[in-house]
Amino acid sequence: LPELPEVETIKNELSSQVVERGITDVDLFWEKQVRRPSAEEFRSRIVGQRIKGLGRRGKYLLFHLESGEILVIHLKMTGSLLVKPTSERPEKYVRSVINLDGGISIHFRDIRKFSGMWLVKDVDGVIKKMGLEPFDPAFTPRHLAGIIGSRSAPVKALLCDQTMIAGIGNMYADEALYEAGIHPMRPGSSLSKAEIKRLHGAIRKVLENGIGNKGASVNTYFLPDGIKGTAHSEFRVAHRRGEKCPLCGCEIERIVVRQRGTYFCPKCQKD
């Protein structure tokens, strides 16, 4: 599932190619991908508009249009946005195509069909209560202590909760907890002030590395030009069950925390 670094990378890479282009046509091969408004209204309202800028909130990608409306996209499990020449025929898993002037198109590919698009005047109706962005200056160790310090849920689950912090998911939560030396099952309330401070620094560090490596392609994440990110090659625990911990040599283990596969080092991250 694409997380903050993957969506941020898509935003950055797409911006240079699509901003200031007009939308000339939209093909919808799976109309339910449009969550709001109806597919018909979506098409009639979006065609003819110019893309003025791209943004991101948590794992949502935002296309700001000249009318002030916003095209909101969530890639979910297997979505990707690929820039292709308009002459190229969409392949099997492309669910919609946004044609732009200048002869390029955005192919919205999604194998498992969990992704969605919304065309709205205000993102609040789509993006419900969401926590601070981890790079927001207001996201401080003190803020982190305030949101997780009184919770009994496992810290792994708290990090993945979008109402607490925006954009972190399974992979970067595991990496941040490893970096901070904290067991994923520890209740939020059991963390000391020093541990919360370490975790805060670790969150920013692993996300920054993820963005620097243009995201992690553990399964179906691609950059808009079709190539893969390399962040997963620097993961130290995520998706590395059975491999050796780079710090202590212990075998990385996998447990399930609130239905999520969770990777950690049993020696460096003691319960």
Contact set with Zn ion (CB under 5 A) = 245, 247-248, 250, 265, 267-268
Residues 260 and 271: their CA atoms lie apart, in Å, by: 18
Q: Identify the active-site residue in 36, 50, 113, 260.
A: 260
Catalytic residue among 2, 5, 134, 224: 2
Question: In the annotation, is 260 catalytic?
Answer: yes
CB of residue 202 to Zn ion, shortest distance in Å: 15
Catalytic residue among 3, 8, 13, 175: 3
- Closer CB to Zn ion, 27 or 253, in the complex: 253
Judged by beta carbon, residue 172 or residue 178, the one nearer Zn ion is: 178
Q: Which is nearer to Zn ion, 63 or 263 (CB)?
A: 263
| Residue 38 beta carbon to Zn ion: minimum distance, rounded to whole angstroms | 53
Cβ closest to Zn ion, residue 204 vs residue 267: 267
d(CA 65, CA 221): 25
Q: What is the token pair recorded at 153?
A: 């849920």
Q: Which residue is nearest to Zn ion (CB)?
A: 245
Cβ burial of 271 (10 Å; 0-12, 13-18, 19+) is exposed
Q: Which of 11, 59, 236, 240 is catalytic?
A: 59
| Rounded (10°) angle between helices 193-212 and 170-180 | 130
Please say if 3 is a catalytic residue. yes
**113 classed as catalytic:** no
Least distance to Zn ion from the beta carbon of 271, Å? 14
| Beta-bridge mates of residue 214 | none
Active site residue 134: no
Q: Which long-range contacts (CB under 8 A, 24 or more apart) does 29-32 make?
A: 29/90, 29/94, 29/95, 29/96, 29/97, 30/95, 30/96, 30/113, 32/113
- Going from the C-alpha of 197 to that of each of 13, 138, 141, 212, the distances in angstroms are 32, 14, 5, 23
Question: To the nearest whole angstrom, how small is the minimum distance from the Cβ of residue 261 to Zn ion?
Answer: 18
- Cβ pair 173, 1 in contact under 8 A: no
Q: Which residues are catalytic?
A: 2-3, 59, 260
